[in-house]
Amino acid sequence: MLSITRKQPPIRTTLINIKKHNNRSSFGISTMRFYRLSGFRWVCYPIVSLLLLLCLPIEAAIDKKQVEARIKQLEQESVLSESRKTELSNQLEAIVAGLQQVTEFEQQAAEYRESVNRLPKLIRELEAETKRLERNPPIRLTVPADEPIEEIEQRLIRIVSQQTTLESELSMLQEQLVTEQNRPQQIRRQLWSLPRFDLPARASHGAMASGLQQNLDTIIKQWQSELEIRLVKSEKLVLEAELVRHPVLLDLIDARINLKQRILELTNHQIEDLENALANRRARDAEEFRDRAAQAEQNVANQQPVVIDLAARNLALSSELRNIVQELAQVKKHEQNLNETVQRLRDDFSATRKKIEVAGLSQAMGQILLEDRRRIAAISLTDWLNLTSERQLAEVGLKRIQYEEERRSLRNIADTIARMTKDLPHAAELHDELQFLLESRRNILDRVIESEQKRLRALSNLDYSLRQLVTLIEDYRDYISERLLWVKSARAIDFNLLAGTPEQFTRLLSLTRLQTLANAFQQLVVDNFLAVGFGVISLLVFVLKRRTLMSALANSAQPLKRLTTDSFQFTLQALLLSIVLASPLPVVMMLFALSIQSTVGGSHLITEIGVVLPPVALFLFFVQLVRQLCRENGLLRVHFKWTESNVDQIKLAMDKLLYLLIPAILFSLILIGYDFGSLTGALPHLASLFTMVLLGYCLLSTLLKQKQIQAAQADPQSPTQSSANTLGYLLLVAPLLFGLAGLSGYLYSVSMLFLQLMHTFEFTIVLALIHQLVIRWLTLASRKLAYKNALERRAAARQKAQESSTEAAGSDPWLDVEEPKIDLDAVSKGAKKLLNTGLSVAGAIGFWLIWADILPAFSILDEFTLWHYTGVENGREINHAVSLFDLGLAVFIVAITLIAAKRLPALLEFILLPYMKNSRGGLYTTRTLLQYLIVAIGLLVVLNRIGVSWTQLQWLAAALSVGIGFGLQEIVANFVSGLIILFERPIRVGDVVTVGDTDGVVTRIKIRATTIRNWDHKELLVPNKEFITSRLLNWTLSDQTTRLMITIGVAYGSDVEQAMAIVTRLAKAHSQVLSEPVPTVYFENLGDNALIINLHAYVGKSEYRLSTLSELHVAIYNALNDAQIPISYPQRDVHLDTSQPLDIRLSSAN
């Protein structure tokens, strides 16, 4: 290797010189000829290449001392300004820090390479130590019989401290193992994300710079470029060395975990020995205290009552101490069992993860995961929860406080004796006995308080361990749920499975199997006689009372024929009767399932039946309930007023579900969950396929029947019906997919998804029933209120008719103003909107809870990478992966965004409606802006989820800006104008405006245009730009009040003052004319043909303008006629030309 300290020429110059030298050199010519002509060209090629490389000058690598020398030289430079020197100095110091980072990378890589040779020896030592501990029997601790209990407790505290340290170290090692197991993928991603440089070009650039007269800026740029390359290369070196070391590191962590686990087992044995010895010693001490108390009670049998009572209390307290010690021992035992369960479950969890990492999600792993899930579900927490309940902890804490208070009262025994013997004769004779008993009681209290403290601490430890177990169970269950849905639980169907199906079916229905099933059923009846008897009696009562129930259901429909007798309680009564009629068989099935689950042991088939019956019984109940609702006098026909064709169709669909699908579901679920052992066959596959075929038949027949009904109606192609039909045909894909999945071996996945669909169906029925009940209540309330208003109006009309005879003959009926009535439609619309909103929220929560067990399974999609994108974090480019889960989540966010943009603004409008009653335009503006905001946020979240950032959209935005500037400027102008309209609000929905020669009401404000409906109910689309750039007349911008001007012409000779009084009276009497500003009447002009009178009046809202004008015109005309004030006709003067004779001719029509 050459060491060159002089300044080297540029690489390009060096290459040119080499070329010229080779052209002039005979050695180069002869060599090239030899290369072309000789048969040994493959030998000469490497030699020539090596010679050429040796001829190249080697660029001197950047050195830390060289950079530091430049820094010192820069400090002594006097030509540069201070700010420039600081800037250059900072750049050089950054280069020094980068070189230090390169050195650290190189040292770390060397350490990794060295550890590959060093760690195997350490692993062998750890494995040898573990084997030695496993070969030797555990050392059992012996506790001398005379060792004080305090020393035993101190030994136990020390060993427990060691146990805690070991558990902490073991937990850290396990976390490190999990982290290191995922480290290779991270290393590969980091290697892939490292920048890739064109190293020859970069080197050429550096060499060219070094051949010139360089200033300090050029040198710094060259150093920075070289440092960047060295950093990447050193980091790549470290990552590759870490990747080589990774298998050895995993073996080392495994060896340490095994050794720590063995040491922890030995420590647990020692703790168990000490705790047993401590429990025995406490029990022995408690028995000694009790024996002494009993002996003391016998000794004072002839003493004063106060002495006898104290001795009896001491004996009771010593008995309480014995009970506390026994309960403490039980708590310690439960804690030990719980810790063993936690450790065993943690080991199982770790083993399952390792198996999946090695074997993947195979069929065998599917069986293991199913078994693990059953074992987790079988863990009972009831006993531990009872011990660690808040009530139990509160009772123990309260007793300890009471004992401590009594112990404080016995600090001064002399004072206690004085209080006890204050009113007793011969108190001095009792002093010794009382002092002995009180000292004994104080000692017993000390032990009781100490034991209670230990029990409370043990219960707290038990509660902590229980929380650990619950967390571990949840993590384990989520881990299984994430993978179990994608694992085959059986072999895919093939000819071998089909060949074994007859034998499988014969074995399942063999006489031996049926006899075993009958015996198990008989034993079940015997063991659960009360439950079975209750079910049989309930079934008999239902059979006997069924006609009575059906008669009651029919009678509940009779009062609905008249509004005066109708009541919502009859609907509730009909619903209750329908539930009772639908319940018998599901209740019996549920009782049978509970009896099976409460029976210990039994055949696997019986156990599986007990698992399958509850969900099927619940599904059967809802199917039966819908069938009862479809009866002739049921809720759907009579109470909810559904059409006969729809009810008949629903009844037919439920019959098919009852008689075809439910038996198939029950049979297939039992076969899928039943363990056939070594007997293989395709019976579960075929049962699953048969169930899916029946489901598809039920769906298809229902859709075809619905299509026939729609064809007979007036509008069979309405948008709602079309959407429902499309959704129904899409649902037909589900049975097909489930059937194919079942044939492929995913039987457990099919059963789980189908059960969730059943629960979804049940929850949908509940929501629909609640919706119809509330609608029925609202409708009935609205009808009764309308009927009440009608009765009041009729009574008022009769009263008015009776009083009309006493009124003046000239009274004007237009002057009678009715009180405003309640708007029933508005009330009903608001209530329905609130109902739909509430049910939508409840439905979303319910569906989320139903599918919560399935949703974690979709997180496995995160392992399927679709593409990568580069992001910048902390100034560095990082490569990120976009997985299939990200893409699915993006699609889900798009759907949620669209739903939220459609529904959430309406909900907000309904919430704000009570506070913005007179601002319909304000509500519309709020709703529109909220829609824009929701769509914008959803779009940003989706783009960020799939790796599209703003930096990647900048060029597209720039290109679009150019295109917009030329071709889409009008659209953008309208869009921006629409935003200005929504924010500035020169017009609002409901405003009366005049644009050009068009008058009308603003009905919608969209992104591009605004819709105006004129008085002929013609809708005009006006570009938003017209409202901003052109003149606009808004009649209701700041005030809804508008002026009416009516011109009346009365004939000459009429009483003008009387006419003005009549017009003033009529204007003031009209209900829509405002009293402020006051209506005014002016004698405007002496016209050519009439005396002109003008009425100026004001109405509160523009929609009342035309109706008020019409009513006032009619009222004024009638009133003037009644007052015999003529309204002048137009007069015209006809002038005849008399300069010539008039030519008059008469002609006949014939």
Give the residue carrying structure tokens 């969209």: 1006
Written as six digits, the tokens of 313 are 């209390």
- Say if strands 998-1005 and 1033-1034 run parallel, antiparallel, or are unpaired: unpaired
Tell me how far apart the alpha carbons of residues 1061 and 904 are, in angstroms, rounded to a whole number: 55
pLDDT of res. 51: 36
Q: Is 1124 helix (H, G, I), strand (E, B) or coil?
A: coil
When the candidates are 3.90.550.10, 3.30.465.10, 3.30.1220.10, 3.30.70.100, the CATH number that belongs to 1042-1122 is 3.30.70.100
In angstroms, the Cα distances linking 757 to 371, 730, 752, 1146 are 24, 15, 9, 96
In angstroms, the Cα distances linking 352 to 359, 365, 551, 749, 810 are 10, 9, 60, 19, 99
The candidate with the shortest Cα–Cα distance to 466, out of 339, 300, 567, 298, is 339
Tell me how far apart the alpha carbons of residues 734 and 353 are, in angstroms, rounded to a whole number: 32
pLDDT of res. 859: 62
Tell me how far apart the alpha carbons of residues 261 and 267 are, in angstroms, rounded to a whole number: 10
pLDDT of res. 606: 76
pLDDT of res. 940: 81
pLDDT of res. 28: 36
Helix or strand holding residue 885 (H, E): helix 884-912
pLDDT of res. 769: 92
**What sign results for the dihedral spanned by CA atoms 221, 222, 226, 229?**
positive
- Name the residue ranges covered by the structural domains of the chain: 61-299, 300-487, 495-713+728-790, 871-948, 956-1038, 1042-1122
Tell me how far apart the alpha carbons of residues 129 and 262 are, in angstroms, rounded to a whole number: 10
Written as six digits, the tokens of 796 are 């008022």
Contact indicator for 682, 498 with CB cutoff of 8 Å: yes
The candidate with the shortest Cα–Cα distance to 891, out of 938, 846, 844, is 938
pLDDT of res. 919: 52
pLDDT of res. 766: 92
pLDDT of res. 616: 92
DSSP symbols for 504-543? HHHHHT-HHHHHHHHHHHHHHHHHTHHHHHHHHHHHHHHH
**Residue ranges for the chain with pLDDT beneath 50:** 1-60, 199-214, 714-716, 806-824, 826-827, 917-918
pLDDT of res. 622: 94
Q: Is 1052 helix (H, G, I), strand (E, B) or coil?
A: coil
pLDDT of res. 619: 93
E strand segments, 576-640: none
Tell me how far apart the alpha carbons of residues 773 and 575 are, in angstroms, rounded to a whole number: 10
Return contacts of 629-637, CB within 8 angstroms, 24+ apart: 629/578, 629/769, 630/654, 631/550, 631/553, 631/578, 632/554, 633/553, 633/554, 633/556, 633/557, 633/574, 634/553, 634/574, 634/578, 635/571, 635/574, 635/575, 635/578, 635/772
Give the residue carrying structure tokens 């599904």: 619
Fold match flag (956-1038 vs 1042-1122): no
pLDDT of res. 37: 37
Cβ neighbourhood burial of 211 (10 Å; 0-12, 13-18, 19+) = middle
pLDDT of res. 905: 65
Identify any residues that bridge with 1045 across adjacent strands, giving them in sequence order: 1096
In angstroms, the Cα distances linking 774 to 87, 564, 574 are 76, 20, 15
**pTM score of the predicted model:** 0.58
Q: What angle do CA 839, 657, 589 make, to 5 degrees?
A: 90
Tell me how far apart the alpha carbons of residues 239 and 108 are, in angstroms, rounded to a whole number: 10
pLDDT of res. 495: 84
Question: First vs last Cα of the chain: how many Å apart?
Answer: 136
Give the residue carrying structure tokens 């990200």: 886
Contact indicator for 661, 736 with CB cutoff of 8 Å: no
Tell me how far apart the alpha carbons of residues 993 and 1006 are, in angstroms, rounded to a whole number: 17
Buried b (16+ CB within 10 A) or exposed e, 903-932: eebebebeeeeeeeeebebbbbbbbbebbe
pLDDT of res. 56: 35
Tell me how far apart the alpha carbons of residues 711 and 728 are, in angstroms, rounded to a whole number: 17
Side-chain-side CA neighbours of residue 1117 (13 Å): 6
Instruction: Give the architecture-level CATH label for domain 956-1038.
Output: Roll (2.30)
pLDDT of res. 959: 67
